[in-house]
Amino acid sequence: MPDMIPSDVFDQILNHIDDPIDILNFALSSKALYSVAVPRHLHYRDIRTPLYNPSLWASLYRKDDIRASHIHSLTILPDTVYDLMKTMIPCKDYDIRKRLDPNSTPYEPMIWDPDRGMDEYVEAEDSMISALERMVCLRRFAWYRVERPFFSGGNDLWTALRNLGTIEEIDIYEGNYHRRSSESPPITASSTFFTFLGLTTLKIRTDNFSIHGPNGPSLPLMLEYMLLNNLPDLEVLVLEIEVRNELDRTANVDHILQSAHWPRLRVLRFYGTSCRVAPLTRFLADHPSLEELALAKMMPGRLWPQLAANLPHDALPNLRHLECAPHQAAALLENLRPRLETLLGINLQTEVRDSNYFSFFDEIVFPSSREAAEFYERAEETRASSWRDLLLRGLERHRTITRLGLSLIHSVVEAAEFAVIAPQTSEIDIEFEANGRIPETELFSMYALFPALEVVHVYCLMMLPIGPLTPESWVPMNNRVQAFARACPRLRVIWAVDMKKLVIIRDDKDIKLCGVKWVIRPWTANEEPEARSGETVFGP
């Protein structure tokens, strides 16, 4: 039967299938379907490539090549994997794996040459914009290239994307690391970027933010207008901002919180922003659909007790993921129903320094630099935590939390306190203070206190070498894995550096005598406890 149906009919059917897994399942039902679904659709549904890829853009622009119309997602990657490492953004927040048709013409990555200039990159961006005109089913676009786009105005990248009329998701990272002096404006100052309509996902992470209002940094008016007027169906909003050349300043989002209403909003992440208590309380109470929430530390700053007092007790009934500072967690846990599963960014310090938690330039106008210096000096002094007891009470109520992220931890004893309060924790990420040196044996003993632990994030211990593991490097690594496995009988995954994770393969018969086997996989790979074909298995 499939042999009798024209391939263009299959193309129309497959274009309505977004998930690559569903495409593969469809393709495996017959040879005829496979011959259409895999080379035309599966290999082109999600394209991830650096900007400089001349053969790709040329082939997609050809009128006799219909594969451009089958692309649903396009990601422009950093020129090199090291570009993101030069920024403050954690690389694990981005999927920077290349994904191209395995049968496509290979290309040589272009190495930056200051004598040659930027002509090749400019030409590559022009070719990409031309190819975009044929991507009539494109739904998602991500720009992870640290350099901003070259073109501005009516013929730029954002105009081409908007003219498609199909874009639903935009994900932008704009770094403050540049190899050139560009005449094009930053993305957050581009008039054409803010003309999108009907997006369901908008993610903006920028280290290049410099927009100022009458009272300090604020969001661009064009961004506010787009958020409040053009995106009624928004489901995911991420605004992570570094204010350039402004020490300890944040962008105020009061107007957004006061005016926005997104009934479908599921994910909200703020960084580098500030607000007052009343707008934040109103917004959280009016958005019960929120499932994931990350708050910048100055939301609402030192007035956090008012958030605890004013937030309704039935607010955020669907929240499962909360990422914030400990004073914010104390305020929110006091009011939330005990359904939370993930809580990141907290600690239980008995003594705190205000400078670790608050940005005073957002709240106080100093008459002179001397008074500002004196105030900051006092902010470095330690004082008794005013939120510890409230946070402890909240953690005891929320026994549903199974994933914890701890920050500014000074000692093993401080981290171990969470094992008593939250013994149900199955995943933990502990960020010790930079100047703290803790013996490995003490760390393993601390993790052993969490009886349900299955996943640990220990980047400091699992420093994987570049290239294949040698006997000199994998032996100490294996010793640490075995120590973790003995300390945590349920351990499945160890998250490491360089976008890798270690997946444990247990054999209950031999584990007590010989230890566990393990494999190294990318962060984005599955965690099945079985070795796959071609994987190197380490251990006994």
DSSP 95: -
Q: In 119-220, where does DSSP find H-type helix?
A: 119-132, 157-164
Per-residue pLDDT tens over the stretch 266-303: 999 999 888 999 999 999 999 999 999 999 988 998 88
Q: What is the mean pLDDT of residues 262-269?
A: 98
The amino acid present at 190, given as its one-letter code, is S
pLDDT at 179 over 60: no
CB 228 within 8 A of CB 263: no
Q: What is the mean pLDDT of residues 248-275?
A: 90
* Separation between Cα atoms, residue 126 and residue 114, nearest integer Å: 20
- The DSSP code sequence of 321-341 is EEE--HHHHHHHHTTS-TT--
Per-residue pLDDT, 130:
95
pLDDT at 380 over 90: no
Instruction: Give the alpha-carbon dihedral of 395, 401, 402, 404, to 10 degrees.
Output: -60
Per-residue pLDDT, 103:
79
Q: In degrees rounded to 5, what are phi and psi of residue 143?
A: -120, 105
Per-residue pLDDT, 155:
86
Per-residue pLDDT tens over the stretch 461-510: 666 655 666 666 778 888 889 999 999 999 999 988 767 889 999 876 65
Per-residue pLDDT tens over the stretch 120-149: 888 999 999 999 999 999 999 999 988 888
pLDDT at 181 over 50: no
Q: What is the mean pLDDT of residues 30-41?
A: 72
* Separation between Cα atoms, residue 527 and residue 525, nearest integer Å: 7
pLDDT at 374 over 60: no
Please, which residues have CB within 8 angstroms of residue 416's CB and are 6 or more apart in sequence? 446, 449
Position of tokens 């958030």?
307
Per-residue pLDDT, 216:
55
Per-residue pLDDT tens over the stretch 217-236: 567 888 899 999 999 999 99
3-state secondary structure of 137: coil
Element (H, E) at 393: helix 388-397
172 pLDDT band, cuts 50/70/90, is: very high
Which is more confidently placed, 21 or 430? Answer: 430
Half-sphere exposure of 90 (CA within 13 A, CB side): 7
Per-residue pLDDT, 436:
55
Of 144-158, 197-211, 233-247, 462-476, the one with minimum mean pLDDT is 462-476
Integer CA distances (angstroms), 325 to 64, 79, 523, in order? 55, 34, 25
pLDDT at 365 over 50: no
| Per-residue buried b or exposed e for 331-340, using 16+ beta carbons within 10 Å of the residue's own CB | bbbbbbeeeb
373 pLDDT band, cuts 50/70/90, is: low
Q: What is the mean pLDDT of residues 416-437?
A: 85
DSSP 538: B
Helices 388-397 and 412-421: angle between axes, nearest 10 degrees: 40
Mean pLDDT taken over the chain: 82
Per-residue pLDDT tens over the stretch 64-102: 888 888 899 999 998 876 666 655 555 566 777 788 888
Integer CA distances (angstroms), 92 to 159, 236, 240, 456, 500, in order? 30, 19, 15, 15, 9
CB 222 within 8 A of CB 185: no
Per-residue pLDDT, 439:
79
Which is more confidently placed, 380 or 202? Answer: 202
User: Residue 505 forms beta bridges with which residues?
Assistant: 517
pLDDT at 1 over 50: no
245 pLDDT band, cuts 50/70/90, is: very low
Q: In degrees rounded to 5, what are phi and psi of residue 484?
A: -65, -45
Per-residue pLDDT, 210:
60
Instruction: Calculate ∠ Cα 282-209-177, nearest 5°.
Output: 140
| Per-residue buried b or exposed e for 383-392, using 16+ beta carbons within 10 Å of the residue's own CB | eebebbebbe
Which is more confidently placed, 129 or 40? Answer: 129
DSSP 391: H
Check residue 316 and give left, alpha or beta (phi > 0: left; psi -120 to 50: alpha).
Answer: left
* Separation between Cα atoms, residue 211 and residue 219, nearest integer Å: 7
- The DSSP code sequence of 442-491 is HHHHHHTT-TT--EEE-TTT--PPSSSPPHHHHHHHHHHHHHHHHH-TT-
